[in-house]
């Protein structure tokens, strides 16, 4: 049962509350009581008396230890219909967000979940377009991961609206894109699109690191050129948090699949090494399949001859021997520890002459020791130029695991006997292979050139 304000009830509450503005107070009380009345409920005179009793009962219950009555809690006298409308809008947005999250969480595929986030961003914010950029920490570029109404695009870190948001980690809300100095209008000119308003927020992973940027373009509402609101910023930030989870899940999913594939490939290589392969075939099988496994431009396998202090490998019909204390491979052979270079030219042990002679550019190098069953260094494996960035800790781990298995196998193979200089025949020609044939050789690149006047052994 609700009550209705009458002069008597208003007087009773006014006496208790002692308002500064009695007329405004009465208006507020009447509005409250009308709002409390159930739909279709008619006025009943008994309500007034019940309300008076309620007022005095509440006042008595709120009296302090000295018997002083506590004033009626102050209500927002500035409440307006527009304020109620804003509250209703927030409720509607909240409902839309809840519905969106239900759809997003049902997506088992991380990429599908990301697509769903972008679509709901456009729908909830009334945006013409939305995009999600994923940051590549190696290249320092933002690459378009998912887009609604946009084509392929990449943005340098720290450049443009998205680049600045990625660099600063701060939200940007722009009502007039062309008035902002960071806005790059080149994309508009190329596509014929006209960007008006932009809302751009950072996307973070579970550790709080910025892993991407989410952007909404051109909010459209009752007024075509209205910009994004404070409420839109809140919604976008919530959606960006979901996008961060989706990006992390996608990366975890990709990493798990890659790890499974690599383990299978390693087992296949080990199985092939146990088969009856000749020397050339063994080297070719190991280096080419490892090159494909890790994703590098080149791969070389050297065995250590401790008698001559040389690293040895075979290329075609030629035995290649280099001093075991030179270059990156020599450093690994001496220390027994892997070397992972993000920039080969910054390491003094790297010989740049071969790059200059051959017109090649060595950027990244990963070189690892090969151990015997007694953990003695018996060789070195070297990979050059990762095809998609730098050699990662995952690359180091998978290759270290492989070489720990391959070492004892190679130690007992004909290949290791050849490394010791015990002789043998080339499987392709049936001829003894020259161990002292004059060649110029790039140990970093696995490239050889026969010297002038070199004679083939018959």
Whether 353 and 364 map to the same domain: the answer is: yes
**Spatial separation of the C-alpha atoms in residues 329 and 314, rounded to whole Å:** 15
Dump the DSSP string for 123-169.
HHHTEEEEEEEEEETTTTEEEEEEEES----EEETTSHHHHHHHHH-
Average pLDDT over residues 342-346: 92
Residue 280 domain flag: yes
- By CB atoms closer than 10 A (0-12, 13-18, 19+), residue 294 is buried
- Domain final position from 79, 105, 138: 79
Residue 12 domain flag: yes
Residues facing 439 on adjacent strands = 450
- In this structure, how many other beta carbons lie within 10 angstroms of the beta carbon of residue 31? 13
**What is the reported pLDDT for 318?**
67
Domain with 66 in it: 1-79
Number of domains in the chain: 3
Whether 422 and 324 map to the same domain: the answer is: yes
Whether 294 and 428 map to the same domain: the answer is: yes
* Residue 354 structure tokens: 């071969």
Q: Contact, 327 vs 350, CB < 8 A?
A: yes
**Spatial separation of the C-alpha atoms in residues 456 and 449, rounded to whole Å:** 14
Average pLDDT over residues 269-282: 76
* DSSP structural state of residue 178: G
**Tens digit of pLDDT for each residue in 163-189?**
999 999 999 999 999 999 999 888 888
Residue 262 domain flag: no
**What is the reported pLDDT for 383?**
94
**What is the reported pLDDT for 261?**
86
From first CA to last CA, the distance across the chain in angstroms is: 114
- Domain final position from 50, 79, 108: 79
Whether 303 and 400 map to the same domain: the answer is: yes
Find tokens 């070492």 and name the residue.
407
**Spatial separation of the C-alpha atoms in residues 139 and 389, rounded to whole Å:** 7
Binning pLDDT at 50, 70 and 90, where does residue 19 land?
low
Lowest-confidence region among 19-33, 106-120, 235-249: 19-33
Whether 427 and 350 map to the same domain: the answer is: yes
**Spatial separation of the C-alpha atoms in residues 35 and 221, rounded to whole Å:** 31
Q: Contact, 69 vs 59, CB < 8 A?
A: yes
Lowest-confidence region among 210-224, 229-243, 295-309, 370-384: 210-224
List the Cα angle 412/417/422 in 5-degree steps.
Answer: 155
pTM over 0.75: no
Lowest-confidence region among 88-97, 186-195, 249-258: 88-97
Q: Contact, 277 vs 285, CB < 8 A?
A: yes
Whether 322 and 422 map to the same domain: the answer is: yes
Find tokens 């083939």 and name the residue.
456
Of all residues in the chain, what percent carry a pLDDT higher than 90?
A: 21
- Domain final position from 220, 253, 286: 253
**What is the reported pLDDT for 370?**
92
Whether 174 and 242 map to the same domain: the answer is: yes
Whether 59 and 190 map to the same domain: the answer is: no
Residue 22 domain flag: yes
Which residues does 143 contact at the CB level (< 8 Å), separation at least 6?
Answer: 133, 134, 135, 136, 154
**Tens digit of pLDDT for each residue in 194-230?**
999 999 999 998 888 898 999 999 988 645 557 898 8
Dump the DSSP string for 328-351.
HHHHHHHH---EEES-GGG-TTS-
């Amino acid at each position: 049962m609700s009550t209705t304000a009458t002069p008597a009830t208003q007087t009773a509450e006014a006496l208790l509350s002692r308002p500064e503005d009695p007329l405004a107070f009465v208006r507020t009380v009447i509005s409250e009581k009308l709002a409390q009345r159930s739909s279709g409920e008619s006025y009943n005179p008994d309500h007034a008396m019940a309300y008076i009793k309620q007022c005095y009962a509440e006042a008595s219950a709120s009296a302090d230890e000295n018997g002083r009555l506590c004033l009626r809690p102050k209500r927002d006298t500035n409440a307006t219909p527009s304020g109620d409308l804003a509250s209703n809008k927030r409720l509607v947005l909240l409902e839309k967000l809840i519905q969106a999250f239900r759809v997003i969480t049902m997506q088992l595929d991380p990429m599908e979940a990301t697509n769903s986030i972008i679509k709901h961003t456009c729908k909830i914010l009334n945006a013409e377009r939305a995009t999600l950029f994923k940051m590549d920490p190696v290249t320092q570029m933002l690459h378009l991961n998912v887009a609604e109404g946009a084509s392929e695009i990449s943005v340098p870190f720290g450049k443009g609206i998205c680049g600045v948001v990625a660099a600063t980690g701060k939200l940007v809300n722009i009502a007039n894109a062309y008035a902002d100095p960071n806005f790059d209008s080149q994309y508009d000119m190329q596509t014929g699109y006209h960007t008006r308003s932009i809302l751009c927020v950072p996307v973070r992973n579970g550790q709080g690191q910025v892993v991407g940027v989410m952007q909404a373009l051109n909010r459209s509402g009752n007024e075509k050129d209205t910009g994004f609101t404070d409420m839109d910023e809140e919604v976008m930030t919530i959606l960006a948090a979901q996008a961060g989870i989706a990006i992390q899940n996608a990366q975890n999913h990709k990493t798990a699949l890659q790890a499974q594939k690599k383990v299978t490939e390693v087992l296949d290589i080990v199985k092939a090494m146990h088969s009856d392969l000749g020397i050339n075939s063994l080297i070719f099988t190991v280096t080419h399949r490892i090159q494909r496994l890790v994703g590098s431009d080149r791969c070389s396998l050297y065995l250590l001859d401790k008698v001559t202090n040389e690293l040895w490998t075979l290329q075609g019909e030629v035995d290649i021997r280099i001093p075991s204390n030179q270059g990156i491979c020599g450093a690994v052979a001496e220390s027994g520890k892997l070397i992972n270079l993000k920039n080969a030219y910054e390491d003094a042990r790297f010989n740049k002459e071969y790059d200059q002679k051959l017109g090649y550019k060595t950027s990244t190098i990963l070189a690892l020791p090969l151990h015997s069953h007694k953990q003695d260094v018996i060789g070195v494996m070297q990979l050059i130029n990762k095809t998609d960035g730098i050699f990662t800790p995952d690359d180091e781990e998978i290759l270290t695991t492989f070489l720990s298995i391959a070492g004892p196998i190679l130690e007992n193979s004909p290949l290791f006997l050849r490394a010791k200089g015990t002789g043998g025949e080339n499987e392709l020609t049936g001829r003894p292979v020259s161990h002292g044939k004059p060649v110029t050789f790039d140990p970093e690149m696995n490239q050889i050139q026969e010297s002038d006047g070199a004679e083939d052994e018959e």
